[in-house]
A and B are shown apart, each in its own frame.
Chain A
């Protein structure tokens, strides 16, 4: 019965498929020039990937600037203001500086691991952007295992951290790397369990389906209301995964110099820096996708179009809703980035034992209970919990 319902829902969603199909239109246009559909698809394929890479990098620049400005505001300072208007070019200047710095490999370090480490940290983070949706069709691939792919990819990162910490031939780097690995592993589980509760409610691992499941009644149907505990656990675990304060033990300046980054300079350090901010933006994006309804507006688009008396499927309306959707995703995302920065200046750093206690003794049982309660509620009230 449930399976039939799911299939019906799936067919329904295919029928209702709204939004802009850029790939289809591009293939059509290229077909107009006499290019076969297969070749047109090959030509189209790298475009969204490059676009996403550029978007992620620009997102990082914006986040770095925001972080510095918000930090300054929280401490009654001015922050960067000489590089470009309001210091907006400061992250670019930082990046350029790192680009031109000498690449140093410590004498007794393992040059191979030392070089591969940062790449292994950064690549999975960028790969995770595959599944981040900005609209019905504004996603690189709508994988049926989207959320799972992200969790799988994020558990590659600690290997890179461990590699770079171990190969630096530096005690601080080694301790930092070990801490990073321990932290990532212990917070992976509550993170996965809280995602699982979401997946249970939307009957799908695909991020698109997860958002669509929340789109029916606008702000009221967002998962935030049905999964308040899961939301908090997810956010705490995401902060720990991205190694942000209060969980920035792997790079705790006062104890470990800079943790696994201690021996890195130039571009390799820039990769770590980039990776951490890309990861922060990614986590914020996924919070907004999983819990705040992704690209859906607080008032559903259908209701709005009905009020205004225009067809939902006319091209102009579709372009407007598409761009509105992207704006909504970015708004929600940067709300969480802001919250992360504010938390950074509010909470003191936890000790390593407190960190592991919180992960294993609090978040894990609570998230497990949350998952079980969600399953029970799903059986009891299939209407409200996506039965």
Chain B
């Protein structure tokens, strides 16, 4: 009998605990209802890509020395470098250069290793096409500059999360001149300069004495 009663009480305890957990869960969901959505209404609003954004690769034809380092560091040897040796100048002459962005994984190795900095990452990410072969960019297409989000009159540019003031999660309706959390690079530089000037004056002073 006692054992049975214990079973019953244990079962009841379990049930109440389950109910308590469901209640806690409901409290969490209910709390979320009060939070503002962080949705960016894409075609009308766009995030401003960060400085380190790894988008479509830009290529400067005239800087390229056809060394093929980009091909060697590429995980899948993707860039196609079409050059021929010019005997009179004793120099490689670049004819064509192309990268297929349908295959590229945007790792940025080619950009990192290019000895003449003729490759660079842009902030362009809208690479949709009806045919995947259209994504095979030749040197002309690679030489085009992307359009800036901030300059597009049709688009409301939005700051990314890391560029919002402290405690703000939504890029909407930011007050004018609001700065991101933490110090900006130029502020850090200023501080360093000030520190340096102070130290110099201090050392000059000590020398005088």
Q: Work out how many contacts link A and B, with CB atoms closer than 8 A.
A: 33
Separation in Å of the A264 CB from the closest CB of chain B? 30
Q: Are A74 and B15 in contact (CB under 8 A)?
A: no
Contacts A74-B32, A75-B32; is A362 near B39 (CB within 8 Å)? Answer: no
A-B contact pairs, 6 of them (CB 8 A): A72-B37, A73-B32, A74-B29, A76-B35, A346-B28, A346-B29
Interface readout for B1-25 with A: 1 if CB under 8 Å, 0 if not? 0000000000000010000001001
Tell whether A153 is near chain B: CB-to-CB under 8 Å. Answer: no
| In the bound complex, CA of A347 to CA of B30 (Å) | 13
Q: A343-B22, A346-B25 are in contact. List 10 more A-B contacts (CB 8 A).
A: A73-B32, A75-B32, A76-B32, A76-B35, A76-B36, A76-B37, A77-B37, A77-B39, A342-B26, A342-B29
B35: chain A residues within 8 A (beta carbon)? 76
Q: Does A384 contact B (CB under 8 A)?
A: no
Q: How far is the CB of B132 from chain A (nearest CB, A)?
A: 29
> Considering the complex, which residues of chain A in the window 105-134 have a beta carbon less than 8 Å from any beta carbon of chain B?
none
Give the dominant DSSP class at B's interface.
helix
A345 proximal to B (CB < 8 A): yes
Residues of B close to A74: CB separation below 8 A: 29, 32-33
Which residues on the A side are within 8 Å of B39 (C-beta)? 77-78
Q: Is B38 an interface residue (CB 8 A)?
A: yes
Q: Which residue of B has the minimal Cβ distance to A72?
A: B37
Of B36, B37, B38, B41, most buried by chain A (CB within 10 Å of CB) is: B37
Whether B37 and A78, one on each chain, are in contact in the complex, defined by CB atoms closer than 8 angstroms, is yes
Contact partners of A347 in chain B: CB under 8 A: 22, 25
Q: Give the size range of B's interface with the partner.
A: 10 to 19
Question: With an 8 A cutoff between CB atoms, is A375 at the interface?
Answer: no
Check A70 for interface membership: any CB of B closer than 8 A.
yes
**Bound CA–CA A280/B47 (angstroms):** 40
B→A interface (CB under 8 Å): 15, 22, 25-26, 28-30, 32-33, 35-39, 41
In Å, the complex CA distance between A297 and B171 comes to 44
Bound CA–CA A76/B28 (angstroms): 12
Question: Which chain A residue lies CB-closest to B36?
Answer: A76
Most B CB contacts (10 A, CB to CB) among A73, A77, A343 go to: A73
Q: Which residues of A from 69 to 123 have beta carbons under 8 Å from B? A: 70, 72-78
- Chain A neighbourhood of B36, CB < 8 A: 76
State A346–B22 Cα separation when bound (angstroms). 7
Q: Distance (Å) between the CB of A228 and the closest chain B CB?
A: 12
Chain A's closest residue to B38 (CB) is: A76
Q: Using Cβ atoms and an 8 Å threshold, which residues of chain B touch A362? A: 15
User: Considering only CB atoms, which chain A residue lies closest to B35 in the complex?
Assistant: A76
* Ranked 9 nearest A-B pairs via Cβ: A346-B25, A73-B33, A346-B29, A78-B39, A78-B37, A76-B37, A74-B29, A346-B26, A345-B29
Which residue in A75, A78, A342 is a CB contact (below 8 Å) of B30?
A: A342
Q: How far is the CA of A80 from the CA of B25 in the complex (A)?
A: 25
With a cutoff of 8 Å between Cβ atoms, the chain B residues found around residue A70 in the complex are 33
Q: How far is the CB of A283 from chain B (nearest CB, A)?
A: 18
Per-position contact with B for A332-374: 1 when CB-CB < 8 Å, else 0?
0000000000110111000000000000001000000000000
Chain A residues, CB < 8 A from B29: 74, 342, 345-346
**Whole-angstrom distance between the Cβ of B11 and the nearest chain A Cβ:** 8
Of all chain A residues, the one with the shortest Cβ separation from B33 is A73
Q: How far is the CA of A75 from the CA of B30 in the complex (A)?
A: 10
Per the bound structure, the CA–CA distance linking A173 and B59 in Å amounts to: 55
Q: Which residue of B lies closest to A361 (CB)?
A: B11
Q: Which of A57-73 contact B (CB under 8 A)?
A: 70, 72-73
Residues of B within 8 A of A77 (CB): 37, 39
- Cβ of B41: which chain A residues have Cβ within 8 Å of it? 78
Given A76-B38, A78-B39, the answer on whether A343 and B33 have CB atoms closer than 8 Å is no
Q: Which residues on the B side are within 8 Å of A73 (C-beta)?
A: 32-33, 37
| A343→B35 CA distance, assembly (Å) | 18
Q: Nearest chain B CB to A53's CB is how many angstroms away?
A: 32
| CB-based nearest A residue for B11 | A362
State the CA gap A346–B32 with chains docked (Å). 11
